[in-house]
A and B are shown apart, each in its own frame.
Chain A
Amino acid sequence: MSIYIISITFSVLFLVAVFELVRRQRLKEQYSLLWILFGVVLLGVSFNVRFLERLAEWLDVKYAPALLFLFGLLFCFAFILHLTLVISKLTSQVLRLTQELAIMKGQHREGEGGMQ
């Protein structure tokens, strides 16, 4: 079994899994777009062996399927960067929520104290 067949099978299964997660509302559409792009590109590259081999020759890579791994690795880096951006935004939002809630709690307590 060649790496290409494994790669095709994997990318098809991967795409199906992503779509199913979105359909079940376990994954938000905006976060699924990058995964779908990844799956489609991987599928395209796996199908078009000639393109991969020409690219390998051009880049002076002896073993063409290694480019698939390179592609996968680079994509992972890009996705992790994307995730850390999202986490950063979430961190500042949680902080702001905590601050607003703490201030509200304080005001609420003051209001109760004034009633007595």
Chain B
Amino acid sequence: MRTLVIIPAYNEEGSIAQVIGDIREHAPEVDIVVVNDGSKDRTEEIARDAGANVITMPFNVGIGGGMQTGYLYAYQNGYDAAVQMDADGQHRAADLPKLLAAIPHSDLVIGSRYVEETAYRSSATRRVGILFFSQLVSIVTRQRFTDTTSGFRAANRKVIALYASYYPSDYPEVESIVYLKRRGCRLIEVPVEMRSREAGRSSITPLKSVYYMLKVTLSVLMSASRVRVRGVKASG
């Protein structure tokens, strides 16, 4: 199985080398592509020196556009599986084999902090947000999800094709789950450990969180109201 790890990165020079090194150590057989989303620091050359393929966007396109670039790259180069991982080091490469092992049973495997009790702790407001979206998505898709905002996921060829054709542009994690469910994909969560952030800042500031809640809620409801399609079909 040819596997690609996609790491979207924006100003992550402090942690990117460590992340790539971790993957090399725990999963030496996978290819790594860093989607450098118009970083203003040395992310590009550090990632290249660490041995990853680097795609540098001409300007900052946002997390959705960057992530989709990775999926498009995976699609065009015929990869069987793609794993998305954060560049800040919060996802552990040690969990990679666990995610990939679940791929034969599912189209998308989501690494969840909450399937089992883990040591992961975050702020109260963040937990409320995560809980809200997990509830919303669970209702809309009729499948229980515990960690819809997790950005640690493994996708098979079917999902790679679907994401290459459509991927939400900003704050994509939650909507991208509903989108796949509407397309008749099988999704599962597997428990993973996550670390606190090593470097860089969270992309979501308190000021943006109201917009975040509104936008994502609207996207989820709209995505759920779109016509249910069975199997893979290019979106119009």
Query: A: which residues have CB within 8 A of B?
Result: 19, 22-23, 25, 28-30, 32-33, 36, 92-93, 96-97, 100
Contacts and interface: CB of A to CB of B under 8 A. Distances in A.
Contact of B169 (A19, A30, A93, A96): A30
A100 B222 contact: no
Contacts of A33: 211, 214-215, 218
A96 B236 CA distance: 28
Nearest to A99: B58
A30 B170 contact: yes
Contacts of A30: 169-170, 215
Given A23-B225, A30-B215, A96-B58, 19 more contacts: A19-B222, A22-B218, A23-B222, A25-B226, A25-B235, A25-B236, A29-B215, A29-B218, A29-B222, A30-B169, A32-B218, A33-B211, A33-B214, A33-B215, A36-B218, A92-B59, A93-B58, A93-B59, A96-B59
Interface residues of B, number: 14
A28 B223 CA distance: 12
A97 B58 contact: yes
Interface of B: 58-59, 169-170, 211, 214-215, 218-219, 222, 225-226, 235-236
Contacts of A22: 218, 222
A18 B65 CA distance: 24
Contacts of A97: 58
